[in-house]
Structure formats: structure tokens, C-alpha cells
């Protein structure tokens, strides 16, 4: 009877080890391909004109996929998961087409994300802010009341007290120097970030109490800069995402809380 030689341990495990090695190689190749594709799309996103990106569905979808986690981690704590902000803290709604600074193009939004508003860097949007007109004694209580009445009238609300409207107009155009930022027609100046005072959109709320607080105590809203926290591709992606949401462009569905 012939004795069978036992199989060596090396031969016994050669099959499973070969399969494991092949699987590792496949995974590494797939990861490398994904990395290369990701870097290629990043380069495309940064090379493209920010304002034209929403016309490219593939690039927009890529930007949105990158932007959503970046938004959730960096922006949602102020602007909310639904991107609608809140008048309690003067946080703007990012889903509408009303913009304090410039025209709300993707490039405009990108600049704000990069350098912030009244953030501690030289490129931040920080030309002016709302002074405490009442607390600093520039306007008295009657002046403030008259200016509020004038603004209600300028916004289309019927006002019976025409004298109060006239007095408010004089304060607005003279001692209040309100026109210097909000312009003579009270429609604001997006170059300064001075809001339109005649529409229905208010960063801090449009009630008389909210407007009184703004005039009396001033406003100094701040948005942090992200140029040193996010990659250039993430900043561009966020700008494209916010633009697409606020302009209902690129087929991007609005977020929900």
C-alpha cells in the first residue's frame, strides 16, 4: 500500500491567499480610479466659470454632492438644515433670491464664503454696518418713531399721519444720514450690504419692534471666513449649491429640515 504524502501548509493556503491578494489589488485599483476621478472633477469645477456651472448638470450634481456635507458641518448651525436662516439672530435665508451683498451670483456667494462678512481678514465684506442711531444720540425717540413711519409709507403701507411721514423723511435725509447707505429712495445698496428698507424682506424682522431695535441699537452681523477651513473645491461647491437652491437652477431640489 502506497503512503500518501501530506499536503504542505503552503499549498493548502495558497488558494485563499491568492484570492485575498487579488481582492486587495482590485480594491486598490478601484480606490485609485475613484481618487483620480474625484481630482479630475475638482479640477473641472475650479476651472469652470462659477456662474456657468449650473448649466452643466454633471458638474452641478458633483458640486451638490460635495457641498451637502460641507454645509451640514459648517453652515447649518447658523442658517439651519433647511437653509432658511432666522430673524432672531439676523441670519439670512439662503433659499430666496434676496441678497445683501452684490447680486447673488455664484461668484458673489463664493466670495462671501471665502472671506466672510465683518470677519477678521482684509478681504472680508466690511465697508460699513448699522450704527446705533438712538443709543448714540444721533436720533431722539420721536425721530426714530417718525423714521419708522416714513419707512412703512415707503414700503407701501397706507399711513394716515402724513406729517409723521414728512418728519421721518426729513430725519432720514438729514440728521439720520440714512441715505448714505440705504440711498435716497431707501432701496439699499448691495455694494455696502445695506438692505432695501421698502420691501417685505428683513434680516432681523420687519415688525416695528424689530426695526426700532435696529435703529436704536444698531446691527453688526458676522459671517465667518472659510478660506482657511475648506478646500477651494468645497468653497466653489458650496457657492454652486447655494446659487442653485436660491435660483431654483440645475434641477436641485430644496433641502428640508
What confidence tens digit (pLDDT) does each residue in 211-246 have?
999 999 999 999 999 999 999 999 999 999 999 999
Output DSSP code: residue 51: G
Q: Give 172-199 pLDDT, tens digit per residue.
A: 999 999 999 999 999 999 988 999 999 9
**How confident is the model at residue 122, as a pLDDT?**
94
Give me the residues of the chain with pLDDT under 50, please.
257
| pLDDT, position 257 | 47
- Looking at residue 40, its pLDDT comes to 83
Going by C-beta distance under 8 Å and a sequence separation of 6 or more, which residues neighbour residue 256? 81, 82
Q: Say whether pTM exceeds 0.75.
A: yes
Q: Confirm or reject CATH 3.40.50.300 for domain 141-217, answering yes or no.
A: no
- Cα–Cα distance for residue pair 48/253, rounded to 1 Å: 22
Angle in degrees, 0-180, between the axes of helices 208-217 and 141-154, rounded to the nearest 10? 130
Q: Which residues contact 185 (CB under 8 A, 6 or more apart)?
A: 154, 198
pLDDT value, residue 54: 85
Right CATH number for 48-127+222-246 from 3.40.50.720, 3.90.1170.40, 1.10.10.60, 1.10.760.10? Answer: 1.10.760.10
Sequence spans of domains, the chain: 48-127+222-246, 141-217
Amino acid at each position: 500500500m502506497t503512503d500518501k504524502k501530506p499536503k504542505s501548509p503552503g499549498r493548502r493556503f495558497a488558494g485563499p491567499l491568492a484570492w485575498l491578494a487579488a481582492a486587495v489589488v482590485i480594491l486598490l485599483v478601484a480606490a485609485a480610479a475613484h481618487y483620480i476621478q474625484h481630482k479630475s472633477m475638482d479640477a473641472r469645477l475650479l476651472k469652470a466659470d462659477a456662474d456657468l456651472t449650473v448649466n452643466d448638470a454633471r458638474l452641478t450634481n458633483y458640486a451638490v454632492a460635495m457641498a451637502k456635507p460641507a454645509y451640514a458641518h459648517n453652515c447649518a448651525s447658523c442658517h439651519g438644515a433647511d437653509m432658511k436662516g432666522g430673524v432672531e439672530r439676523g441670519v439670512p435665508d439662503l433659499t430666496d433670491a434676496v441678497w445683501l451683498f452684490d447680486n447673488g451670483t455664484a461668484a458673489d456667494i463664493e466670495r462671501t464664503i471665502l472671506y466672510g462678512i465683518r470677519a477678521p481678514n482684509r478681504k472680508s465684506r466690511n465697508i460699513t454696518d448699522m450704527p446705533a442711531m438712538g443709543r448714540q444720540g444721533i436720533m431722539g425717540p420721536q425721530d426714530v418713531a417718525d423714521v419708522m413711519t416714513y419707512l412703512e409709507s415707503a414700503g407701501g403701507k397706507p399711513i394716515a399721519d402724513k406729517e409723521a411721514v414728512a418728519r421721518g423723511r426729513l430725519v432720514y435725509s438729514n440728521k439720520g444720514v440714512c441715505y448714505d447707505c440705504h440711498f435716497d429712495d431707501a432701496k439699499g445698496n448691495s455694494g455696502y450690504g445695506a438692505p432695501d428698507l421698502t420691501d417685505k424682506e428683513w434680516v432681523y424682522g420687519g415688525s416695528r419692534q424689530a426695526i426700532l431695535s435696529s435703529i436704536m441699537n444698531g446691527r453688526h452681523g458676522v459671517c465667518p471666513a472659510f478660506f482657511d477651513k475648506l478646500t477651494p473645491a468645497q468653497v466653489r461647491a458650496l457657492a454652486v449649491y447655494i446659487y442653485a437652491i436660491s435660483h431654483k437652477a440645475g434641477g436641485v431640489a430644496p433641502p428640508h429640515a
